[in-house]
Structure 1
Amino acid sequence: MNPKKAVMSGNEAIARGFYEAGGKVAASYPGSPTVELLDNIRQYEEIYSEFSTNEKVALEVAIGASMGGVRAITSMKHVGVNIAMDPLMTFTQSHINGGFLLVTGDDPGMASSQNEQDNRIIGKFANMGILDPSDSQESKDFTKLALKLSEKYNLPMMLRITSRLCHSRSIVEFEEREEVESQKFKEDTAKFCMLPPHTFQLQYTMKERIEKLSKWADESNINKLEHKNSDCLIITSGLAYQNLMELGLELSVLKLGMVYPLPIEKIRELSSNYNRIIVIEEMMPFIENELKIAGIECEGKKYFKFTGELNIEVIEKGLKDAGLITERKIVDPKPEDTTQRGPLFCSGCPHRPVFDILKKSKVTVIGDIGCYSMGLLYPFEVLKTNISMGASLGMIKGMRMAMDRIGDDRPLAGVIGDGTFFHSGLAGFANLRYQLKGDENITMLILDNGTTAMTGGQPTASSKHMDGAGQDISIDEMLKAMGYDDVQRIDQFDYKNAKEVINNAINKQGLSIVITSRPCALKFKIKEPHFYVDPKVCISCRTCIKTNCPPLRMKKYEGIEKLKSSIDPTQCVGCSICAQVCPVNAIKRNELNKTMKNIP
């Protein structure tokens, strides 16, 4: 009987692999490109899974599960590993009990990220074995293999997967779930308590197990040689291998499945059979540098770019530059002649009125990471900084301290979402009160939309009151318990009152917090009669257009020479912001009944 097959994304395949491997605990924090991994694990009842409050906590949940004796997985985007580095760098010294796998979603080309760090470097830094799959089948297979290697060599493993592989699809063969015998936790301070003198010996333990894993890599078939009649050996891994194969060239290729530790002795032996070794890898010259450290001559980034994805065109060009092919067969695609369109907030997005108010206030706004990061783009262009999750809190304090000391008394405002509040904002808010005199002009806006919206609407710790999920932790009460007195919650769809509250907070000395309360328009649908524009009343001032709502645009009406505002009724959700900002009441509901609470 043929095994069941399905077309799966890399994320789906890893989830399936963890299930088949007998995995029991999975924890993650949502971040592209790895969000769908945990979303898919959640379908398997045998596995406990959670979206933790941040990556550090997710890692610690998985560490506890591993020490507790079961196979555990934690997944996060590449910058999420930065948040988890503190426990990671100590945990990799310790012993494990159940297989442990960290999945990192690297993002060549920064399709959805603020940087392009290469987490293979972190994996080596942390003394972890690193597997690098090239398609969905290998994503599933390497997940299972990583957990076995973790237990065999007593070390945490890393599965490094890139954005393209997370989301691209290929055929995967299913196997039955393997129930693995659990190893109950046995108290042993030398194995699990990372303090001297235990850690002195564990430095040697880390070194020895990486050496053993390297020997395994030399002898295993995870690294495959495809020999052709050529005097050059191409060494590659991951999706770059698949793109290279698309060219159909007669070149010898060593495809690496494990990129750390490398099968150094095998490569050293192979190198004597070739005149040249060329490494094709995305982002940093990680494999290239490892080979050079081992005294193996090679080239790589001399011909292939260090940033962005290595697609077929880029690889072919690099091979021509290296003199391995004489002509290019693939023509570089020409950019299509299309209108450039920036990202927009969704129809009915509760962030839109907030940024419209902030823009009109002309206050300097410190940004943070989330959907609201788009507030730095046209037409709002409100946010003046954008660094990392939770950074707005420390940065606004530091900037206030600096400005006060040089006589710059301009008010400062900052924004942070509810998901980011629980991710990394609590410590920032605690610190924000520390050593203040009380008259510093700082306004923080918490955009509480009840979800981690940018990554697909996962619940936050405050969202139970909206959809029954989450932990229903009150942000208002937490802040008041910290000692904040000036905390107000507003309905930003009541535009006039929201504008008054926000502007009063900005213009008042001291530390003020304003929490907005409308939920995400995608997660919690607004169902209201749509609005329309009366072109005879409209004065073409474009005030409504500047709210950046997708249904709004200027158009030509029959019999009217001047362009007037219009609303696409198929996109309008009836949030009413455009009607509230219109200075001449030209925007009206399509129906007389008004069912939305607290909306004019």
Structure 2
Amino acid sequence: MGVAPVKRLSTGAEAIGRGAAEGGVSLVSGRPCSPPLAAVLAAAACEGVRTERAPSERAAAVAALGASLAGARALAVLSGLEGAADALHAAALAGAAGGLVVLAMDDPGLALGPVRSDSRALARALELPCLEPSDARECLAQLAAALELSERWATPVVLRVTARLLLEARPIELGAPAPRPAAGLRRDRARRVLVAEHGGTLAARLEERLGQLAAEGVDSALNRVELRSRALGVVTSGPTYQYVREALPEASTLKLGLSFPLPSELVRDFARAVDRVAVVEEMEPVLESEVRAAGIPCRGKDGLPRLGELSPELVGWALSGVARPARPEPPAPPRPREACPGCPRRALFQALKRARAGVVADLACSAPGVFPPLAVVDAALAPGAAPALAHGAAAVLGPRVRGRLVALTSEESFLHSGALALAQAAEDGHGAVVVLEDGAAPPGERRADLAQLARALGAARVREVQVGELAACEAALREELAASGLSVLVARGRCPAGARSGAPFRVAPERCNRCGACLRLGCPALAEGTAAMAIDGPRCAGCGLCAQVCRAGAIARGEARA
């Protein structure tokens, strides 16, 4: 008897990490700017694949391209394609040597941020083949297919996923990790040097490749026709396939695993086999537009929303003719944004609030500073944008601005793109305070010396402060706000994720006057008790910020953790 295959319950992120190992990927490069992407990088590292944390998505894509041109297989992990669009457009022309897959995560439900980016449309604009898995099993299988497709056609391939898909779990069948192919850089100046003299040939080769891929897609196992009832045929791709199967089990389906280039002949054959065609997709009507452009009548977004995630209920209401309930179930109340217990940003927010400065910040961990009780951040748009926003505002406001503007940016976001804005601000001499958050590096990871980097970029006034010392941090901030010209404040603090600063703090009820100063920090470990404020010991990170703001002296460090 043969050995039964080993199966494991895995999320989509874990399946991709496993697929990188089984596919012989030599390098995974990405920027872990959201939990699903961080999970992909962590999963690949746990599977023994070399994983690198890039300062920007463009850097991640170019590093993966470099590994591919050296003959190795590589995976770039991105939150969409827009941050690396220029590099990927060049990669489409230059092609790939080793298999090169670009994982692009979209967020139709806007759970991670307000930016609606549809990587399917960008993949078409960049002329890159696009694969769309529908569950964790297909994440594993389609990564292998994408690597093979990339090497056979000498092109980068986009593997488009959604945030929900990366976090949902399914059983996957494990294979053996593949050996990594030996790397070797081959000279091919006619393809790798993108000068005007080579442009016509490269563009013609790209168009020819896409045409051949579209023809191959007609018989590809990635695209699957499932004929059931003739009454309705649904063209779909990615996770929406699961919604269609649940909502309309009798409908025929054309599941496009390779959604670009569109296999038009396959869609036409499918349309002839059914009475009417509908296209079901989340976000923009990308597939619908291509199906209509191929001369195939279909129903699309006229019954389905562009905003938000789809669901089996929405698909069923749109296509089955069943009336939607007049009073649909209300959505779950949103979870309030809050910084982790012990987050050093909380001290910065408190100091900035007391200084009454105008604050622009980055996204991610700055989000809790937008909402009460902190409510200090006035604008937060994109990674690394804060220094440029403050510089531009200070340039036009001049002395009319009340106080001075503060740009709050993390080390990662600063290296992403904020460093160039700081260099420009130093050259132009406009007044703003740039606060660079310098978190302690995890074990085995080197980080930049932000103070030296700021001086190298031209900032003449640079000082460092420990954010855990609230009074000193506030005094330094007020001093820099009162100064003229560009100021850089390097705020040192330790991210509490996976660590504790020491013994938890406790409240002495007999001394607490219930003034609420500690609650205004917005720490999740603090709550209002019956007789006094209370601290949840297991959640307390031991930072001591609450003790610093308690004027009654009712908060002190308790016993050490067991």
TM-score (norm: length of structure 2):
0.94
Partner of 2:273: 273
Query: What residue in structure 2 maps to residue 518 of structure 1?
Result: 493
- 1:24-48 CA distances to partner (integer Å, 9 max, x unpaired)? 2221111222221121111344x33
Match of 1:485 in 2: 460
Give the aligned partner of residue 481 of structure 2: 506
Contact 1:347 1:521 (C-alpha < 8 Å) held by counterparts: yes
Structure 1 residue 423, shift from structure 2 partner: 2.0
Q: Residue in 2 aligned with 1:91?
A: 91
Report Cα offsets for 1:4-29 as digits up to 9, x if no partner: 11111111111222222222222111
Alignment match, 1:576: 544
What's the secondary structure of 1:253's corresponding residue? strand
Question: Does 2:382 align with 1:408?
Answer: no
* 1-structure distance, mates of 2:540, 2:553: 17
- Aligned counterparts of 1:331 and 1:179: Cα–Cα separation in 2: 56
State how far apart, in whole Å, the 2-side matches of 1:139 and 1:590 are.
48
| Amino acid in structure 2 at the alignment position of 1:352 | R
The answer on whether the counterparts of 1:73 and 1:100 sit within 8 Å (CA) in structure 2 is yes
Q: Please point out which of 526, 542, 554 is paired with 1:552.
A: 526
Residue 245 of structure 1 aligns to a residue whose secondary structure is helix
What residue is the counterpart of 1:460 in the other structure?
none
One-letter amino acid of the structure 2 residue matched with residue 449 of structure 1: G
1:424 shift after superposition: 1.9
In structure 2, relative to structure 1, the CA distance for the partners of 1:159 and 1:331 (3 Å cut) is: farther
Structure 2 residue 448 is the aligned partner of structure 1 residue 473: yes
Distance change (3 Å), C-alpha of 1:505 and 1:312: same
Deviation at 1:544, TM superposition (A): 1.6
Displacement, 1:397? Answer: 0.5
Residue 250 of structure 1 aligns with which residue?
250
Q: Give, in whole Å, the separation in 2 of the partners of 1:119 and 1:362.
A: 40
Hey, what does 1:374 align to over in structure 2?
368
**SS of 2:379 mapped into structure 1:** coil
Task: Give the distance between the partners of 2:153 and 2:477, measured in 1 at CA.
Answer: 57
Q: Which moved more, 1:341-350 or 1:215-224?
A: 341-350
| Correspondence for 2:432 | 442
Does the CA contact (< 8 Å) of 1:353 and 1:577 recur in 2?
Answer: yes
CA distance in 2, matches of 1:185, 1:330: 63
Structure 1 residue aligned with 2:502: 527
Q: 1:478, 1:131 → 2: CA distance?
A: 41
> Which residue does the alignment assign to 1:143?
143
Question: Aligned with 1:134: secondary structure?
Answer: coil
Question: 1:113: how far off?
Answer: 2.3
Compute the displacement of 1:555 (Å): 2.9
Cα distance in 2, alignment partners of residues 104 and 397 from structure 1? 31
Measure, in 2, the Cα distance between the counterparts of 1:52 and 1:397. 26
Contact between 1:153 and 1:212, CA under 8 Å: does it hold in 2?
Answer: no
Deviation at 1:582, TM superposition (A): 2.1
Structure 2 unaligned runs (5+)?
A: none
Change (3 A) 1:43 1:521: closer
Q: CA deviation at 1:248?
A: 5.1
Q: Structure 2 counterpart of 1:242, which letter? A: Q
SS in 2 for 1:225: strand
Match of 1:40 in 2: 43
Picking from 413, 423, 426, the partner of 2:416 is 423
Share of identical aligned residues, percent? 28
Say if 1:7 and 1:171, in contact at 8 Å, map to a contact too: yes
Q: Which residue of structure 2 aligns with residue 260 of structure 1?
A: 260
3-state SS of the aligned residue for 2:111?
coil
SS in 1 for 2:412: helix
Q: 2:99–2:156: 8 Å Cα contact kept in structure 1?
A: yes
Q: Distance in 1 between matches of 2:554 and 2:179?
A: 66
1:42-121 to 2 correspondences below 5 Å:
42-45=45-48, 47-78=49-80, 81-121=81-121
- Render the CA deviation track for 1:326-367: whole Å, top value 9, x for unaligned: 46799954446x7x6512112221111110111121111011
Correspondent of 2:26 among 20, 24, 27:
24
- State how far apart, in whole Å, the 2-side matches of 1:187 and 1:110 are: 44
* 2:556 paired with 1:588: yes
Aligned to 2:236: 236
- C-alpha change, 1:237 and 1:404, in structure 2 (3 Å) is same
Does the residue aligned with 1:434 lie in a helix, a strand or coil? helix
Q: How many residues align?
A: 558
AA aligned to 2:390 is I
Against the structure 1 CA distance between its residues 184 and 566, is the aligned structure 2 distance closer, same or farther, given a 3 Å change threshold?
closer
* CA 1:184–1:578: 2 relative to 1, 3 Å: closer
Per-residue deviation at 1:117? Answer: 0.7
**CA shift at 1:187, angstroms?**
1.3
CA deviation string 1:101-142 (max 9, x = no partner):
000111111111231210001111111110101111111111
Structure 1 Cα separation of the partners of residues 117 and 417 of structure 2: 20
Q: CA contact under 8 A between 2:525 and 2:537: conserved in structure 1?
A: yes
Distance 2:218 2:288 in 1: 17
Paired with 2:467 and 2:247, the residues of 1 have a C-alpha distance of 55
Matches of 1:110 and 1:504, distance apart in 2: 39
Alignment-derived partner of residue 197 in structure 2: 197
Instruction: After TM superposition, give the deviation of residue 181 of structure 1 in Å.
Output: 5.1
> Structure 1 residues 573 and 18 mapped into 2: Cα distance closer, same or farther (>3 Å)?
closer
**Structure 1 segments unaligned to the other structure (5+ residues):** 451-462, 558-563, 596-600
**Any conservation in 1 of the 2:133–2:257 contact (CA below 8 Å)?**
yes
Higher mean C-alpha deviation, range 298-307 or range 24-33: 24-33
2:436–2:490: 8 Å Cα contact kept in structure 1? yes
**Aligned Cα root-mean-square deviation (Å):** 2.2
Cα distance in 1 for partners of 2:527, 2:463 equals 34
Query: Does the 8 Å CA contact 1:534/1:587 hold for their aligned counterparts?
Result: no
Separation in 2, partners of 1:522, 1:229: 52
Distance 1:385 1:529, change over 3 A: closer
Taking structure 1 as reference, are residues 267 and 534 closer, same or farther at Cα in structure 2, changes over 3 Å only?
Answer: same
| Mapped contact 1:114–1:387 kept (Cα < 8 A) | no
Counterpart of 1:433 in 2: which secondary structure? helix
Structure 1: distance between partners of 2:242 and 2:203: 37
Which deviates the most, 167-176 or 524-533? Answer: 524-533
The equivalent residue for 2:4 is 2
How far apart are the structure 1 equivalents of 2:281 and 2:74?
A: 29
Cα distance in 2, alignment partners of residues 282 and 92 from structure 1: 26
Partner SS state of residue 9, structure 2: strand
Aligned position for 2:339: 345
Return the match for 1:395 from 389, 404, 415.
389
**1:207-243 Cα shifts (integer Å, max 9, x gaps):** 0000010011012222111112232211111111112
Q: Is the Cα–Cα contact under 8 Å of residues 505 and 558 in structure 2 kept in the other structure?
A: yes
Change in Cα spacing, 1:214 to 1:474, as seen in structure 2 (3 Å) is same
Q: 1:408 to 1:346 in 2, by over 3 A?
A: closer
